[in-house]
């Protein structure tokens, strides 16, 4: 049995953190589904920027849409929705087989809206309607301004992937926003089974502190943050409030491990996969990490429900001068800023390609 299959058998979903038109059309994604137990996919502005910048596969569709009067953000979302819906169709059998637990594909609203509640909600509703697929999650950042949009989108029945979460506190705030939306659906007599995941970013923690802590603490902070969040996740699912919602037919919002590509060349390239093995969670992996784990990964022991030694480990980082809460806030802001930068670069690529292809026969 492959390591990816073992992880799937443990009860964790393996998603691919990548999308390109070539991946969709040359059979690679289907091979990952068939051979590596991949059951979903995530995307973000950085991924689309790299996909469109580094491939000619989008040239003809960009040229056609530009000649038809589309440009910039409008043109991008038209192109992105073509990729997202094609991927969603490939994962639809998984979605059907698991009755909507798995088989999801994620598309993010414009990162320029990270601090604009009303515009985020409007964009989420628009993208979900245009996708026209039940297994498409709309990514909304778990910023202070994003939380009301998460609640309202959930109440509207829009499946949400909450992104840019960096701590157990961020996770709980996002989970409670989702739960409020679910509870409002229950009170309104609506079906409360709305799909959702909450994406906790891992590797950026270790990259942020690598120059400021002893070498003995390298590549340990992200996993400790994940362990703490996993305990909070299970505690919340076991709470009377969630048990009531479940009794009315709600679906739990699953915890998702994001940013699981290792940045340190001296660390195992499967560190965040082996260390975060846990039932009823999702791990979305960069393509090279997925292939590395399939080749030589080991599953090991599942995360302990109690959070393991995370509190003592986090105490070591506090002693070393790391203010975890302050760093979580900084990482969230930096993450939002990074996606804005990628978005602006993506718009530049769209504009450059549109103009250069406009007069090509």
Active site residues per annotation: 139
CA distance 137 to 88: 10
Helices (H) and strands (E) in the chain — how many of each? Answer: 16, 8
Residue carrying the six token digits 């979580």: 328
CA distance 146 to 333: 13
Q: Which of 161, 62, 175 has its CA nearest to residue 109?
A: 161
58-76: buried (b, 16+ CB within 10 Å) or exposed (e) per residue? beeebbebbeeebeeeebb
Contact 215, 328 (CB under 8 A): no
Token code pair at residue 316: 């070591």
Q: Strands of 166-316 (E only): list them.
A: 196-201, 254-258, 281-285
Contact 320, 217 (CB under 8 A): yes
In the chain, what is the straight-line distance between the N-terminal and C-terminal CA atoms, in Å? 51
Residue partners of 146: CB distance under 8 A and separation at least 6: 114, 117, 120, 140, 162, 164
CA distance 163 to 201: 8
Q: Which residues pair with 13 in a beta bridge?
A: 282
- How many of the other CB atoms lie within 10 Å of CB of 266? 8
Helix residue spans in 188-250 (DSSP H): 203-209, 221-237, 240-247
Residue partners of 222: CB distance under 8 A and separation at least 6: 202, 203, 204, 205, 206, 272
Contact 225, 205 (CB under 8 A): yes
């Amino acid at each position: 049995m492959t390591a990816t299959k073992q992880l799937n058998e443990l009860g964790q979903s393996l998603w691919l953190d990548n999308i390109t038109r070539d991946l969709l059309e040359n059979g690679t994604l289907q091979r990952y589904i068939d051979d590596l137990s991949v059951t979903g996919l995530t995307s973000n502005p950085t991924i689309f920027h790299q996909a469109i910048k580094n491939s000619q596969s989008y040239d003809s569709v960009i040229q056609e849409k530009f000649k038809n009067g589309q440009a910039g953000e409008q043109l991008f979302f038209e192109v992105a929705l073509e990729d997202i819906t094609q991927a969603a169709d490939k994962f639809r059998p998984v979605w059907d087989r698991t009755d909507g637990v798995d088989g999801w594909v994620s598309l993010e609203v414009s990162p320029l809206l990270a601090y604009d509640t009303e515009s985020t909600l409007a964009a989420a509703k628009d993208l979900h309607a245009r996708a026209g697929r039940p297994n498409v999650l709309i990514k909304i950042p778990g910023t202070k301004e994003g939380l009301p949009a998460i609640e309202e989108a959930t109440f509207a029945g829009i499946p949400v992937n909450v992104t840019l979460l960096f701590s157990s506190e961020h996770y709980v705030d996002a989970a409670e926003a989702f739960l409020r939306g679910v509870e409002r659906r229950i009170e309104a007599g609506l079906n409360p089974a709305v799909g959702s995941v909450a994406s906790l970013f891992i590797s950026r923690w270790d990259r942020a502190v690598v120059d400021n802590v002893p070498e003995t603490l390298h590549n340990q902070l992200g996993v400790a943050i994940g362990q703490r969040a996993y305990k909070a996740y299970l505690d919340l699912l076991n709470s009377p409030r969630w048990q009531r919602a479940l009794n009315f037919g709600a679906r739990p919002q699953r915890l998702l491990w994001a940013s699981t590509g290792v940045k340190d060349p001296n660390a195992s390239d499967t560190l965040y996969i082996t260390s975060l093995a846990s039932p009823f969670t999702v791990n979305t992996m960069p393509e090279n990490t997925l292939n590395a784990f399939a080749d030589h990964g080991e599953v090991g022991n599942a995360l302990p429900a109690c959070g393991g030694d995370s509190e003592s480990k986090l105490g070591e980082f506090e002693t070393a001068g790391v203010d975890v809460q302050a760093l979580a806030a900084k990482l969230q802001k930096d993450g939002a800023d990074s996606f804005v930068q990628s978005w602006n670069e993506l718009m530049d690529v769209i504009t450059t390609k549109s103009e250069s292809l406009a007069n090509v026969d």
